[in-house]
Amino acid sequence: MKLPLIAALAFAALTGVVHADEADKVRETTKAEVDAFNARLYAGTASNKSYACFVRRYDAEHLARHPKQKVASMKLLISAEIDNEDKQLHNSFRLGFRYRHRSGDFDSSGSCGSHAVLLSQGDEVRLGCGVDCEGGGIEMALSRDSKSAIVRLERIRVWQNNKPDDDAEQSLVAGADDRIFRLDRTDNSECASLVTDRKELAALRHK
């Protein structure tokens, strides 16, 4: 069953990656597809406080081949939590990265509320994640072997050194070499720097 046009455009607006003229190439995921995607994402049955960490540090050879790439390294933490009210599993994300020619750590975070299947990409399931107040966001898919996350973005609001205030607020905008990132799955401890809550940090380290 295809998504109604409004729902398809809502998914597109969440991340800005799927354009309006592609709305007819998107269909709604079935519950079985969502469950299968989550099982691949979390390497098992998703439950309360499940985590998946993906990291990429670009070496000098890669950066030399992509001179316009602004990002030198990136981390992505996807987490699952069961809502106390609707008893459903909800995903959220935290993204951290360093620029190639700028100092400091930059980060962003938000909720992941949409799954969709892109018919033009061989029925690929993508998870849409957004930042509040029209802060852009990301789309995330998995490689065929589930060992890597494919992250796509057009624009996402970020903050420097985990300071969520107007002075530190900026945006990472996609360029020629900053539109698609392939991050490799790794131990959850590699994403510990993205977590500030002590209880959640303890839960992350025990997964």
* Domain count within the chain: 1
Taking only the tens place, the pLDDT of each residue in 159-201 is 987 665 555 568 999 888 899 999 999 999 999 999 877 666 5
CA distances from 116 to 5, 33, 99, 124, 167 (A): 13, 9, 30, 8, 35
> Whole-number mean pLDDT of the chain?
82
Structural domain for 37, as ranges: 5-205
Note the pTM of the prediction, 2 decimals: 0.83
Q: How many CB atoms lie within 10 A of CB 84?
A: 6
More confident residue, 18 or 64: 64
What single DSSP character describes residue 29?
A: P
Amino acid at 141: A
Tokens of 15: 């991340």
Tokens of 6: 């409004």
Taking only the tens place, the pLDDT of each residue in 97-125 is 999 989 999 999 999 987 888 766 778 89
More confident residue, 91 or 87: 91
Tokens of 5: 């046009």
Q: How many CB atoms lie within 10 A of CB 116?
A: 24
